Structure 1
């Protein structure tokens, strides 16, 4: 399915004095990286549809929170299935294709995880990081405040 492009935008693009694809390749580090980025974005959009994800438009706060939990759960399950590390550039592209600028309920969880990883002793990291990574322990605001 081809994307619908605003006619004014299409006309402006057609008048460009440079090759937009060449600029895209330059900005994203080459044609292979652009190809990978587009692959991940398309996969994310397919997962979005298959998993019944919904836009937050017209949702109240509780509905949006529940939908954000659904989306982030779908994202992390798919990343694990694909063998993509959660903190990798590929994970960022995939996540932002489903949850652009919306944030998600696990944002604080990863702040807490990072705090333990950076400030914990070896034995603390050995005990707690696997629990964070498997979501058996989920960080909250209260837990992040302990570091202040």
Structure 2
């Protein structure tokens, strides 16, 4: 799994974010029966001001959020609760680019503190969540939310982390 991380906020550098992202993404892909070495994504480690601007620009919501995802392609299942399509390679022998994820320092750290969770555990959950979005999973429709949350819990348990819900 190739992960490119852009640190826009230096506070992220106190964590081993590259290791967290690698572990979370590898486990997510492996859990879904996908070879982690065949995929890549990018991660923007930013602050609330930056993610609020991105949220406004792409979702029409001018407020900070914990994580945003931009899938490289729409893989969502047509039927509620269905399994998304698998990504197809653009070039033989090259990793498949899944898309981009952004996370915001202030929101993520505040959520972890409020929830009484270690920041690393909360970030692992958010990265798993973001990777699932890149793979076409969503939580807008009830049946899709049930599927996505079940997968998140299963993946986090495999990583030795508790149910975040």
TM-score of the two chains, using structure 2 as the length reference: 0.28
Higher helix share: 1
Higher strand share: 2
- The structure with the larger Rg is 1
Higher relative contact order (CA 8 A, sep 6+): 2
